[in-house]
């Protein structure tokens, strides 16, 4: 989560939607250039920053802080009061849910030391993964009628949408190579998500993310 007092926006970070890439690019709206680490990788290890320019939530794994990177709108309201969403332009990332869950599956397999996976076993393993998957609350709240998102950054149009959002808020993205953080777990041969699904797995995602599919028109 990033909140910029100077640019009057709040960015909510969803899961496996290029959220970290988006986050570190938008972070410059809260911190002057001299405050930004030289290496993109160092940005993802930062504790929270709270000052009169804005809030950059903590991204340190397991951090017990007031503001966390996957903070939900309801948690932010609890922290800052009921008017916070109406006072700022709000934004979050979205992604085709079937593609998103394949990315999540490989990321967790890599993190848990289960890579490489045998290609012919992936559909069954993905189905089992989805059967036990517990959806993140941030992914629910960004499309809930109880909260208000002014705009969304589509994973499928990442560069254009981040740049457009920045211009809407009155700033430009730093002229640097865009980072690709937390990527690399998914094999190149698995970029097309469709062959990786069983019928049951496909339906499981359709039920898990029915709200995203309905709101944004995603199709398998």
Range of the domain at 194: 2-216
Residue of 140, 138, 141, 142 whose CA lies nearest to 152 = 142
Over residues 93-125, the pLDDT tens digits come to 999 999 999 999 999 998 888 888 899 999 999
- Angle made by CA atoms 209, 17, 210, in degrees to the nearest 5: 10
pLDDT for residue 23 is more than 90: no
Whole-number Cα distances in Å, 101 to 28, 116, 158: 29, 17, 18
pLDDT band at 8 (very low <50, low <70, confident <90, very high): very high
Check: CB of residue 74 under 8 Å from CB of residue 90.
no
* CA gap 170, 13 in Å, rounded: 20
For the cut 60, the answer to whether the pLDDT of residue 40 exceeds it is no
Please give the pLDDT value at position 182. Answer: 61
For the residues 152-176, what does the mean pLDDT come to? 90
State whether residue 69 is helix, strand or coil: coil
How many independent structural domains does the chain possess?
1
The pLDDT tens digits for 46-90 are: 678 888 989 988 876 655 678 988 999 999 999 999 999 999 999
- What is the reported pTM? 0.90
2-4 and 54-56 beta bridge pairing? antiparallel
Which CATH number characterizes residue 29's domain?
3.40.50
């Amino acid at each position: 989560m990033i909140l910029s007092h100077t640019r009057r926006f709040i960015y909510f970070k969803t899961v496996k939607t290029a959220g970290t890439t988006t986050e570190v690019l938008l972070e410059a709206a809260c911190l002057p250039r001299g405050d930004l680490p030289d290496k993109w990788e160092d940005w993802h290890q930062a504790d929270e920053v709270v000052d009169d320019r804005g809030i950059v939530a903590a991204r340190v794994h397991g951090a017990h802080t007031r503001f966390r990177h996957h903070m939900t709108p309801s948690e932010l309201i609890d922290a800052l009061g009921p008017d916070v969403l109406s006072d700022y332009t709000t934004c979050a990332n979205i992604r085709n849910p079937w593609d998103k869950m394949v990315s999540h599956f490989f990321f967790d397999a890599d993190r848990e030391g289960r890579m490489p996976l045998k290609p012919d076993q992936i559909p069954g393993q993905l189905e089992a993964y989805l059967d036990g998957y517990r959806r993140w609350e941030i992914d629910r709240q960004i499309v809930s009628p109880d909260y208000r998102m002014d705009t969304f950054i589509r994973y499928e149009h990442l560069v254009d949408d981040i740049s457009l959002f920045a211009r809407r808020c009155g700033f430009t993205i730093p002229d640097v190579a865009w980072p690709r953080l937390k990527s690399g777990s998914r094999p190149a041969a698995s970029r097309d998500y469709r062959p990786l699904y069983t019928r049951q797995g496909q339906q499981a995602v359709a039920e898990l993310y029915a709200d995203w599919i309905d709101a944004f028109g995603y199709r398998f």
